């Protein structure tokens, strides 16, 4: 975007900008999840991250599909929000030695990522409907549902296992 | 935190670190909300931001209360996540001229902030319970409930008014 021009003029521009933002975010999350799989010590947590890694590859493909349906070339735009969320996760996990405490920190970091995505996909679904694109809304809704389910699964993991053993 | 030491050793350390993180985040959000009140053009949106500004001052006070109950001096720790979320909101809103499109962008930015807080307070409530601190959990839960209610109110505002008029 230009530094001195107002490049977002319409709701359509805003929608496409947000799509580029989540495209960047999903790609950064792919790398972060690979890292988290390697750091997790609970087998169940590692499996949860691995499952979400597979889902996330599909989320990238879905964003590309929405770009295509909307007649726009897939492109990323830098997303300081996800950069900050992932940098903070790296900072915190770098400070933790105990494996069980680290698992708790990893779950918290993953839930911050999930909630970022829930916010963004929720917005994208609403805007796609506003723009008269129920086809795009329906694809984005599938990812939104999966992000919510992942967040709930992480809450259950935290409550049932990791936090209890990390007292 | 030290660069070469592992300063988070226990779940209690992790809880206190996260508390310092939301303390920083709430204070940054106070400034961001003041800015958003000034930028919103829909009267209802401006009122929603003003109501949340009042709530946020109370959230800061609650975090201080939890520090006190937990016997720790209130202190912030830099939170790259909320910095990224707010910087991104500023970047995007700086690109939008049309008032109704800007209102839609402001709602999206506020919902990203709300979801960050929902993730963090959800984690803090769970960890407070893990640490046998239901008194702290109960205070943090009040803020969590308010963040969720604010997010829902913003969704309704987006669906009913702003997005519809910004087509």
Is residue A76 exposed (0-12), middle (13-18) or buried (19+ Cβ within 10 Å)? middle
Which of B9, B104, B111 lies at the smallest CB-CB distance from A122?
Answer: B111
Which of A7, A98, A155 lies at the smallest CB-CB distance from B9?
Answer: A98
Interface check B160 vs A, CB under 8 A: no
Q: Which chain B residue's Cα is nearest to A112?
A: B119
Q: For residues B114 and B56, is the Cβ–Cβ distance under 8 A? A: no
Is residue B71 exposed (0-12), middle (13-18) or buried (19+ Cβ within 10 Å)? exposed
CA distances from B107 to B32, B126, B130 (A): 13, 28, 34
B positions 119-158 inside 8 Å of A (CB): 119-120, 122-123, 126-127, 129-132, 155, 158
| For residue A154, pLDDT beyond 50 | yes
Give the Cα separation of B35 and B80 in Å (integer). 20
Q: For residues B164 and B138, is the Cβ–Cβ distance under 8 A? A: no
| For residue B119, pLDDT beyond 60 | yes
Tokens representing residue B72 in the block = 């720790």
Residue with tokens 């997005």: B163
| For residue A5, pLDDT beyond 90 | no
Interface check A160 vs B, CB under 8 A: no
- For chain B, what are the domain ranges? 11-166
B positions 37-96 inside 8 Å of A (CB): 79-85, 87-88, 91-92, 94-96
Q: Record the pTM.
A: 0.94
Work out the mean pLDDT of chain A and round it to a whole number.
93
Confidence grade of residue A70 (pLDDT, cut at 50, 70, 90): very high
SS3 B95: coil
Query: B8, A126: Cβ pair inside 8 Å?
Result: no
Query: For B61-103, what is each residue's pLDDT tens digit?
Result: 999 999 999 999 999 999 999 999 999 999 999 999 999 999 9
Confidence grade of residue A1 (pLDDT, cut at 50, 70, 90): very low
| For residue A71, pLDDT beyond 50 | yes
Interface check A103 vs B, CB under 8 A: no
Q: For residues B11 and A166, is the Cβ–Cβ distance under 8 A? A: yes
pLDDT of res. A160: 76
Q: For residues A81 and B88, is the Cβ–Cβ distance under 8 A? A: yes
| For residue A2, pLDDT beyond 70 | no
Tokens representing residue A60 in the block = 């990238």
Interface check A97 vs B, CB under 8 A: yes
Query: B164, A130: Cβ pair inside 8 Å?
Result: yes
Which of A85, A96, A126 lies at the smallest CB-CB distance from B81?
Answer: A85
User: How many angstroms separate the CA of residue A12 from the nearest CA in chain B?
Assistant: 8
Q: Which chain A residue's Cα is nearest to B156?
A: A126
Give the Cα separation of B16 and B22 in Å (integer). 10
ipTM: 0.93
Say which CATH superfamily domain A11-166 falls into: Ferritin, core subunit, four-helix bundle (1.20.1260.10)
Residue with tokens 């996540």: B81
């Amino acid at each position: 975007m230009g530094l001195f021009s107002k490049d977002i003029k319409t709701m359509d521009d805003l929608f496409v900008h947000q799509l580029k933002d989540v495209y960047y975010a999903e790609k950064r999350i792919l790398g972060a999840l690979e890292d988290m799989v390697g750091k997790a010590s609970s087998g169940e947590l590692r499996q949860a991250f691995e499952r979400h890694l597979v889902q996330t590859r599909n989320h990238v493909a879905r964003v590309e599909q929405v770009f295509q349906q909307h007649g726009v070339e897939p492109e990323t735009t830098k997303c300081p929000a996800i950069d900050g969320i992932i940098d903070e996760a790296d900072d915190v996990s770098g400070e933790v030695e105990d494996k069980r405490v680290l698992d708790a920190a990893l779950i918290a970091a993953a839930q911050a990522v999930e909630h970022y995505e829930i916010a963004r996909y929720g917005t994208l679904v609403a805007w796609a409907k506003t723009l008269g694109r129920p086809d795009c809304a329906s694809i984005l809704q599938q990812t939104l549902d999966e992000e919510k389910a992942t967040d709930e699964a992480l809450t259950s993991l935290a409550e049932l296992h990791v936090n209890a053993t990390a007292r």
